[in-house]
């Protein structure tokens, strides 16, 4: 059996976990503005870890047979070393120390990220159901075929509204369950609070990521250069944090939802601290 040297352990990274259309690119820009923190475009780190873990697992056949638990742990360590090296070089080129990644697809690979980066810090980002769905419907109209939405669109042919409500519910349930299981290394952030009260809610996010909070970061978000990636076109034309998108989805016909779907939405909104639909401020 080969004995490997684990080498020095670098500071743990962080991940923003969220549904699509919840403001993760804005949060990425804010985080990326910090002088010690790199927040790149979506790199699909979860998918990369999954593939590398598979590769390492199947290239240690003898160890798999003699000591399967050791072989699995070895595969995770090797995977982490590869990803760490890539991201360390990325941070170094930008003169920074830490990295935070926010691919939507990471939500499908939480078990992989937990195995490889069990010490990672997690930021759970949420947005009101109707506003997320409204933004998603606009995107589907102009650019149909988003991978995150496709299974749900197929499940509700001819009813994209119900499809995206189901997507929001399923994704939110998964996020809440993972947050509960990892409370000591995570924090929750709502999009509405991010854009309305950034100076109140962002300090705890930066505290979790172990970097100093400086309110002046907010003044530099849109004058700092950020690497461009998929889905960044709209924010590239933005010059300030805006609140105008809050409540746009409240005109959607939520009253037409099936009773079980509506009850599911109401329960999740309550868990996230939003008013119930139909209540004052909850989507009239």
Quick one: pLDDT band at residue 283, thresholds 50, 70, 90?
Answer: low
In the chain, how long is the greatest CA-to-CA distance? 65
Quick one: pLDDT band at residue 9, thresholds 50, 70, 90?
Answer: low
CB 63 within 8 A of CB 70: yes
Mean pLDDT across 148-177: 96
Whether 4 maps to a domain, the answer reads: no
For residue 184, what are the domain limits?
A: 14-271
Reply yes or no on whether the pLDDT at 168 is more than 80: yes
Residue 206's pLDDT is 98
Whether 66 maps to a domain, the answer reads: yes
Q: Angle 180-282-267 (CA atoms, 0-180°, nearest 5)?
A: 35
Whether 277 maps to a domain, the answer reads: no
pLDDT tens-place string over residues 256-267: 999 999 999 999
Q: State if pTM tops 0.85.
A: yes
pLDDT tens-place string over residues 209-234: 999 999 999 999 999 999 988 777 77
Whether 237 maps to a domain, the answer reads: yes
CB 39 within 8 A of CB 28: yes
Q: Sheet containing 186-190: which strands, arranged edge to edge? A: 37-38, 98-101, 14-18, 121-126, 186-190
CB 98 within 8 A of CB 13: yes
Mean pLDDT across 10-39: 96
pLDDT tens-place string over residues 96-152: 999 999 999 999 999 999 999 999 999 999 999 999 999 999 988 888 878 899 999
> For residue 209, which of 130, 97, 284, 89 has the smallest C-alpha distance?
97
How many independent structural domains does the chain possess?
1
Residue 145's pLDDT is 78
Percentage helix, strand, coil for the chain under 3-state DSSP, each rounded to 5: 55, 10, 35
Whether 218 maps to a domain, the answer reads: yes
Reply yes or no on whether the pLDDT at 34 is more than 90: yes
Whether 130 maps to a domain, the answer reads: yes
Residue 1's pLDDT is 45
pLDDT tens-place string over residues 232-258: 777 888 889 999 999 999 999 999 999
Output the CA–CA distances (angstroms, integers) from residue 142 to 22, 25, 138, in the order listed. 18, 19, 6
Whether 284 maps to a domain, the answer reads: no
- CA–CA separation, 275 and 269 (whole Å): 7
Reply yes or no on whether the pLDDT at 2 is more than 50: no
Quick one: pLDDT band at residue 284, thresholds 50, 70, 90?
Answer: very low
Least confidently predicted of 19-33, 68-82, 190-204: 68-82
Reply yes or no on whether the pLDDT at 186 is more than 90: yes
Averaged pLDDT of the chain:
92
- CA–CA separation, 213 and 206 (whole Å): 6
Output the CA–CA distances (angstroms, integers) from residue 66 to 43, 58, 60, 153, in the order listed. 35, 14, 10, 46
110-134 burial, b for 16+ CB within 10 Å, e for fewer? bebbebbbeebbbbbbbbbbbbbbb
Whether 19 maps to a domain, the answer reads: yes
CATH number of 124's domain:
3.40.50.300
Helix (H, G, I), strand (E, B) or coil at 18: strand
Residue 63's pLDDT is 58
């Amino acid at each position: 059996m080969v004995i490997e040297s684990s080498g020095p352990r670098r500071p743990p990274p962080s991940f923003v976990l969220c549904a699509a259309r919840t403001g993760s690119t804005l949060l990425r820009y804010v985080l990326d503005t910090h002088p010690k923190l790199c927040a790149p475009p979506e790199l699909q780190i979860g998918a990369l870890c999954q593939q590398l873990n598979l590769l390492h697992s199947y290239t240690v056949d003898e160890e798999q047979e003699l000591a399967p638990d050791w072989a699995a742990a070895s595969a995770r360590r090797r995977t982490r070393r590869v990803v760490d090296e890539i991201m360390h070089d990325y941070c170094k080129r930008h003169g920074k120390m830490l990295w935070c990644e926010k691919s939507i697809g990471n939500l499908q690979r939480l078990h992989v990220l937990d195995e490889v980066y069990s010490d990672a810090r997690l930021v759970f980002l949420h947005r009101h159901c109707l506003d997320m769905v409204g933004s998603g419907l606009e995107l589907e109209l102009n650019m149909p075929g988003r991978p995150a939405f496709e299974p749900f669109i197929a499940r509700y042919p001819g009813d994209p509204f119900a499809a995206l409500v189901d997507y929001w519910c399923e994704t939110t349930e998964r996020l809440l369950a993972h947050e509960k299981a990892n409370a000591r290394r995570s924090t929750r952030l709502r999009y509405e609070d991010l854009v309305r009260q950034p100076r109140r809610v962002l300090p705890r996010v930066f505290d979790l990521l172990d970097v100093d909070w400086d309110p002046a970061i907010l003044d530099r978000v849109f004058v700092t250069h950020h690497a461009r990636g998929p889905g960044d076109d709209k924010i590239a034309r933005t010059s300030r944090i805006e609140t105008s998108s809050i409540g746009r989805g409240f005109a959607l016909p939520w009253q037409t939802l099936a009773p079980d779907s509506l009850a599911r939405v109401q329960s999740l909104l309550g868990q996230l601290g939003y008013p119930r639909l139909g209540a004052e401020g909850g989507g009239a």
